[in-house]
Amino acid sequence: MPAQQATESIIGRFSASLSALRDLRVLAMLFLGFAAGLPILLIFSSLSLWLREAGVERGAVTFFSWAALGYSFKFIWAPLIDRIPLPLLTGWLGRRRSWLLVAQLAVISAIVLMAMNDPSQGRDTLIPMALAAVMLGFSSATQDIVIDAYRIEIAEARMQGVLSAAYIAGYRVGMVIAGAGALYLAASFGSTADNYSYAAWQLTYLVMAAIMLIGVATTLLVPEPIAKVREDSAWGGFDYLRLVLVFLVAAGAFVAAFFLGASGFTAIKQMLGQDALLNFLIETLHFGLAILCALLVGWMLVRFGAVDRQMARATWVEPALDFFQRYGLRTALLLLALVGLYRISDIVLGVISNVFYQDIGFSKPEIATAVKTFGVVVSIAGGFLGGLMATRFGVMRILMLGAVLSAVTNLLFIGLAHAGHQLPWLYTTVAADNLAGGLASAAFVAFLSSLTNVSFTAVQYAIFSSLMTLLPKVLGGYSGSMVDAIGYPNFFLFTTLIGVPVLLLVWLAQRSLQVTEQARKNNR
């Protein structure tokens, strides 16, 4: 009888899963995931190949990866999107869909602006292309914020697993289209490594902009989540306007500090020579001082009454304060260090991987087939494997396994660098790298979800997902300069070694979380 009941239970769960897959909300998340996955590779790998074919120096190519830093700072404006209504649009579409539509139209505009600039024409076109790429990163990150909130609000907790799976599947398909699809299109339109064609890349990016209309159509067709009553509803439009102005002034302070200090830091780098590590440390200091300047300006504006203090506290302070109160200062800092460093091996290598493949002789169609199609399929398989193993063996154990595999598989790139144009080596390397990456990502998402308080889901998840890419992307911006200085094999060894401290962080985090959980049980 127990065996029969277990079998009936399994059949019942399977039937429920099939029923959930027929839910229109699952289809909506599939298409919204597609719209979220499309823009990111138009900043990273596809753009890298376009710039490389156009004759842009390798170091400048990888600097463009900084255009995606918007993903790493989206937690700063996530609370604004959560609170501020848009004139006319919010009344027509609702709070979530109005912001989603604005973000998607901004994504399309940014892609079109990138298509209007030929990077082979030098600085006069590279600067506007860089600004358009920054706009694409900012608007795409905004779209991610809204989709995350929309997914949480349209369904109950039991549906979230299915909705997340649909979103991830759509996201991966969007990445295939923007990765493999863009490379195939550019090649078919006539651009190669030896025969660059601006018209081919321009048309490719215009096609990508048109495909983003799938996301716009989905936004206009899906229902708006049922609005929840907010405790801060007493704040009026002028309060919201002041909040936005404080954010814009602080952001302007960051931009001003960064660019005004650029000449001084450039002079320091020239004095110290071309050492890649020193240059990275100097630019990290440059970046950190600009952030500090923005924080000081924002704090002073709040201090002197430019915005309601309680509103500013509820927007930016309380979500972070809650995290430190739940875990304590020591454990919270340890967890944040793990979040910020866990994916560093993968992301730093990934910035220059496509350029590496092309430099050792692989064509765009070969890269597209191996990396953007085969690799994505393997990554999805790795994600499912990681999810199943995390359920069976526990998140922290698989988090450790993912950290080990992510670092070790980078050593295969050294073998590929020595082997050169060998397709078996390419497919072996891509398979191992993507399987490890998919497994690690699944465990990491489960880990981040476990850290989030349901009272601050959108903001805290935005903080975690922003932090996990910040340092890796900054360091990845120097990957081209590092390769120029030390060569590909030594660079790949470096990406392996920087993953070693992550193993210690996972072990320490596991012990700290066990102690914290035991203390909570003792206090009950």
Q: Is 491 exposed, middle or buried (0-12, 13-18, 19+ CB in 10 A)?
A: buried
The one-letter amino acid code at 15 reads S
User: Minimal CA–CA distance to 260: which of 235, 233, 290?
Assistant: 290
Each residue's pLDDT, cut to its tens digit, for the chain (524 residues) gives 455 554 444 444 444 444 455 568 888 988 999 999 999 889 877 888 888 888 887 666 656 666 666 777 787 788 778 777 888 898 899 888 999 999 999 999 999 999 999 988 877 888 888 889 889 998 999 999 889 878 777 876 556 656 776 777 788 889 889 988 898 899 899 888 788 999 999 999 999 999 999 999 999 999 988 755 455 555 555 677 787 788 888 888 887 887 777 778 777 777 776 665 677 677 778 778 888 898 899 889 888 888 878 877 877 788 888 889 888 888 999 999 999 899 888 888 887 888 899 889 888 788 878 887 788 888 877 776 776 677 678 778 889 999 999 999 999 999 999 999 999 999 999 999 999 988 887 778 777 767 777 667 667 777 887 788 777 877 777 787 788 888 899 999 999 999 999 999 999 998 888 776 666 665 65
Structure tokens at 498: 């920087």
The pLDDT of residue 408? 92
The pLDDT of residue 155? 73
3-class secondary structure per residue, 94-116: CHHHHHHHHHHHHHHHHHHHHHC
Please say whether the dihedral angle defined by the alpha carbons of residues 315, 319, 325 and 328, taken in this order, is positive or negative.
negative
Please report which residue ranges of 409-422 form alpha helices under DSSP H. Answer: 412-419
Helix (H), strand (E) at residue 455: none
Rounded-to-integer distance, Cα 212 and Cα 325, Å: 41
Residues 432-490: pLDDT tens digits?
Answer: 999 998 888 777 877 776 777 766 766 777 788 778 877 787 777 778 778 888 889 99
Please list, residue by residue across 265-292, b when 16 or more beta carbons sit within 10 angstroms of its beta carbon and e when fewer do.
Answer: beeebeeeeeebeebbebbeebbeebee
Please report which residue ranges of 232-361 form alpha helices under DSSP H. Answer: 237-260, 262-272, 276-303, 309-312, 318-327, 329-341, 344-359
Helices first, then strands: H and E counts in the chain? 29, 0
478 and 276 in contact (C-beta within 8 Å)? yes
User: Minimal CA–CA distance to 352: which of 38, 58, 114, 120?
Assistant: 58
Rounded-to-integer distance, Cα 47 and Cα 362, Å: 17
CB atoms within 10 A of CB 59: 18
Rounded-to-integer distance, Cα 425 and Cα 434, Å: 14
Please say whether the dihedral angle defined by the alpha carbons of residues 478, 480, 483 and 489, taken in this order, is positive or negative.
positive
The pLDDT of residue 16? 47
Please count the CA atoms within 13 angstroms of the CA of 166 that sit on its side-chain side: 23
The pLDDT of residue 458? 66
Residues whose CB is less than 8 angstroms from the CB of residue 134 and which lie 6 or more positions away in sequence, other chains included? 67, 70
481 and 307 in contact (C-beta within 8 Å)? no
User: Minimal CA–CA distance to 290: which of 452, 127, 474, 93?
Assistant: 474
Rounded-to-integer distance, Cα 121 and Cα 114, Å: 14
The pLDDT of residue 429? 94
The pLDDT of residue 1? 47
Rounded-to-integer distance, Cα 302 and Cα 510, Å: 38
Q: Helix, strand, coil shares of the chain as percentages rounded to 5?
A: 85, 0, 15
DSSP string, 461-492: HHHHHHHHHHHHHHHHTTHHHHHHHH-HHHHH
Rounded-to-integer distance, Cα 430 and Cα 425, Å: 8
266 and 258 in contact (C-beta within 8 Å)? no
The domains found in the chain, sorted by start residue, are: 36-225 (1.20.1250.20), 236-307 (no CATH), 320-524 (1.20.1250.20)
DSSP state of 64: G
Q: Considering just the CA atoms, what is the radius of gyration of the chain in Å?
A: 23
DSSP state of 307: S
